[in-house]
Structure 1
Amino acid sequence: MSVQELVGYDKAAVRSILDAVRAEGRDSLTAPEGRAVVEAYGISTPGEGLAANPEDAVVLATRMGFPVVLKIVSPDILHKTEAGGVIVGVTDAAAAADAYRTIVRNAREYDPDARIAGVQVQQMLTAGHEVIIGAVSDPTFGKIVAFGLGGVLVEVLKDVTFRLAPTSPETARSMVEGIKAAEILRGVRGAEPADAEALAQLISRVSDLVTDFPEISEVDLNPVLATATSATAVDVRILVGAAAEPPARFTREEILASMNRIMRPASVAVIGASAEDGKIGNSVMKNLVNGGFAGKIHPVNPKASDILGLPAVAGINDIEGDVDVAIFAIPAKFVPAALEEAGAKGVAGAILIPSGFGETGNQELQDEVVAIARKHGVRILGPNIYGYYYTPQHLSATFCTPYDVPGGVALSSQSGGIGMAILGFSRSARMGVSAIVGVGNKADLDEDDLLTFFEDDEHTQLIAMHLEDLKDGRAFAETAQRVSKHKPVIVLKAGRTAEGARAAGSHTGALAGDDVVYDDILRESGVIRAPGLNDLLEYARGLPQLPTPKGENVVIITGAGGSGVLLSDACVDNGLSLMRIPEDLDQAFRAFIPPFGAAGNPVDITGGEPPSTYRNTIALGLEDPRIHALILGYWHTIVTPPMTFAELVVDVVDEFRARGIHKPIVASLSGDVEVEEAAEFLYRHGVVAYPYTTEKPVAVLGAKYRWARAAGLL
Structure 2
Amino acid sequence: MTQDRVRTVRALLDSVRAKGRTSLTAPEGKVIADAYGIAVPGEELARDVDQAVAYAARCDGPVVLKIVSPDILHKTEAGGVVVGVRGASEVRAAFYEIVKNVRAYDADARIEGIQVQQLLPRGTEVIVGAVTDPTFGKVVAFGLGGVLVEVLKDVTFRLAPVDGDEALSMLDSIRAAEILRGVRGAPPVDRWALAEQIRRVSELVADFPEIAEVDLNPVIATPQGAFAADIRVLLATDPPRQRRTYGREEILTSMRRLMRPRSVAVIGASNEQGKIGNSVMRNLIDGGFPGKIHPVHPRADDILGRKAYKSVTDVPGEVDVAVFAIPAKFVASALEEVGKKGVPNAVLIPSGFAETGEHALQDEVVEIAERHGVRVLGPNIYGYYSTWQDLCATFCTPYDVKGPVALTSQSGGIGMAILGFARSTGTGVSAIVGLGNKADLDEDDLLTWFGEDPHTECIAMHLEDLKDGRAFVEAARATVPKKPVVVLKAGRTAAGARAAGSHTGALAGDDAVYDDILRQAGVIRAPGLNEMLEYARALPVLPTPKGDNVVIITGAGGSGVLLSDAAYDNGLSLMEIPDDLDAAFRAFIPPFGAAGNPVDITGGEPPSTYENTIRLGLEDPRIHSLVLGYWHTVVTPPMVFAELTARVVAEFRERGIEKPVVASLAGDVEVEEACRYLFARGVVAYPYTTEKPVAALGAKYRWARAAGLLGGGP
Give the TM bin, normalised by the shorter chain: over 0.9
Q: Does 1:657 align with 2:657?
A: no
Post-superposition offset of 1:47: 1.2
- Structure-1 residue corresponding to 2:362: 366
- Structure-2 residue corresponding to 1:157: 152
- Is the CA contact 2:147–2:217 (under 8 Å) kept in the aligned structure 1? no
- Structure-2 residue corresponding to 1:216: 211
Q: Can you list the C-alpha shifts for 1:12-35, whole angstroms capped at 9, x where unaligned?
A: 221221111011010010001101
1:76 to 71, 75, 84: 71
CA distance in 2, matches of 1:259, 1:619: 46
- Is the CA contact 2:662–2:685 (under 8 Å) kept in the aligned structure 1? yes
Partner letter of residue 392 of structure 2?
S
Q: Does 1:100 align with 2:95?
A: yes
- Structure-2 residue corresponding to 1:604: 600
Aligned-pair Cα RMSD in Å: 1.1
Post-superposition offset of 1:91: 2.4
1:647 to 638, 643, 649: 643
Post-superposition offset of 1:655: 1.1
- Structure-2 residue corresponding to 1:630: 626
Q: Secondary structure of the residue that 2:540 maps to in structure 1?
A: helix
Q: Secondary structure of the residue that 1:10 maps to in structure 2?
A: helix
Q: Secondary structure of the residue that 1:409 maps to in structure 2?
A: strand
Q: Does 1:183 align with 2:183?
A: no
Q: Does 1:497 align with 2:497?
A: no
Q: Does 1:294 align with 2:290?
A: yes
Post-superposition offset of 1:93: 1.7
- Structure-2 residue corresponding to 1:124: 119
Once the two structures are superposed, the pairs formed by residues 328-477 of structure 1 within 5 Å of their partners are 328-477=324-473
Q: Secondary structure of the residue that 1:125 maps to in structure 2?
A: coil
CA distance in 2, matches of 1:653, 1:454: 30
- Structure-2 residue corresponding to 1:698: 694
CA distance in 1, matches of 2:187, 2:86: 26
Partner letter of residue 199 of structure 2?
S
Q: Secondary structure of the residue that 2:192 maps to in structure 1?
A: helix
Deviates most, 124-133 or 423-432 = 124-133
- Structure-1 residue corresponding to 2:553: 557
2:483 to 487, 490, 493: 487
Q: Can you list the C-alpha shifts for 1:633-662, whole angstroms capped at 9, x where unaligned?
A: 000001000000000101111111111100
Post-superposition offset of 1:272: 0.5
Q: Secondary structure of the residue that 1:122 maps to in structure 2?
A: strand
- Structure-2 residue corresponding to 1:43: 38
CA distance in 2, matches of 1:705, 1:237: 41
1:309 to 282, 291, 305: 305
- Is the CA contact 1:271–1:326 (under 8 Å) kept in the aligned structure 2? yes
Partner letter of residue 223 of structure 2?
A
- Structure-2 residue corresponding to 1:571: 567
2:85 to 77, 87, 90: 90
Q: Secondary structure of the residue that 1:550 maps to in structure 2?
A: coil
Once the two structures are superposed, the pairs formed by residues 664-675 of structure 1 within 5 Å of their partners are 664-675=660-671
Instruction: Tell me the number of residue pairs that the alignment of Structure 1 and Structure 2 aligns.
Output: 709
- Is the CA contact 2:216–2:230 (under 8 Å) kept in the aligned structure 1? yes
CA distance in 1, matches of 2:492, 2:224: 39
Post-superposition offset of 1:256: 1.1
2:578 to 562, 576, 582: 582
- Is the CA contact 1:275–1:308 (under 8 Å) kept in the aligned structure 2? yes
CA distance in 2, matches of 1:229, 1:588: 53
- Structure-1 residue corresponding to 2:703: 707
CA distance in 1, matches of 2:324, 2:649: 49
Point out where structure 2 has 5 or more consecutive residues left out of the alignment.
none
Structure-1-length-normalised TM-score: 0.98
- Structure-1 residue corresponding to 2:281: 285
CA distance in 1, matches of 2:647, 2:389: 35
Q: Does 1:66 align with 2:61?
A: yes
Post-superposition offset of 1:80: 0.6
Q: Secondary structure of the residue that 1:545 maps to in structure 2?
A: coil
Partner letter of residue 72 of structure 1?
I
Post-superposition offset of 1:153: 3.1
Post-superposition offset of 1:9: 6.4
CA distance in 1, matches of 2:695, 2:419: 22
Q: Can you list the C-alpha shifts for 1:491-529, whole angstroms capped at 9, x where unaligned?
A: 000001112101000011111124121011111101000
CA distance in 1, matches of 2:644, 2:188: 54
Once the two structures are superposed, the pairs formed by residues 316-327 of structure 1 within 5 Å of their partners are 316-327=312-323
2:538 to 538, 542, 545: 542
Deviates most, 369-378 or 169-178 = 169-178
1:205 to 200, 204, 211: 200
Partner letter of residue 295 of structure 1?
G
- Is the CA contact 1:9–1:42 (under 8 Å) kept in the aligned structure 2? no
Q: Secondary structure of the residue that 1:178 maps to in structure 2?
A: coil
Post-superposition offset of 1:95: 1.4
- Is the CA contact 2:39–2:197 (under 8 Å) kept in the aligned structure 1? no
Q: Can you list the C-alpha shifts for 1:200-221, whole angstroms capped at 9, x where unaligned?
A: 1111111111111111111000
Post-superposition offset of 1:305: 1.3
1:225 to 210, 217, 220: 220
CA distance in 1, matches of 2:613, 2:126: 50
Partner letter of residue 536 of structure 2?
A
Partner letter of residue 696 of structure 1?
K
- Is the CA contact 1:669–1:675 (under 8 Å) kept in the aligned structure 2? yes
- Structure-2 residue corresponding to 1:686: 682
- Is the CA contact 1:354–1:383 (under 8 Å) kept in the aligned structure 2? yes
- Is the CA contact 1:150–1:224 (under 8 Å) kept in the aligned structure 2? no
Deviates most, 197-206 or 459-468 = 197-206
- Is the CA contact 1:222–1:236 (under 8 Å) kept in the aligned structure 2? yes
Q: Can you list the C-alpha shifts for 1:234-255, whole angstroms capped at 9, x where unaligned?
A: 1100011244244321111111
Post-superposition offset of 1:129: 1.2
- Is the CA contact 1:351–1:381 (under 8 Å) kept in the aligned structure 2? yes
Q: Secondary structure of the residue that 1:620 maps to in structure 2?
A: helix
Post-superposition offset of 1:152: 3.0
Q: Secondary structure of the residue that 1:247 maps to in structure 2?
A: coil
Q: Does 1:133 align with 2:114?
A: no
- Is the CA contact 2:145–2:152 (under 8 Å) kept in the aligned structure 1? no
2:108 to 87, 102, 113: 113
- Structure-2 residue corresponding to 1:518: 514
Q: Does 1:617 align with 2:626?
A: no
Percent identity between the aligned chains? 72
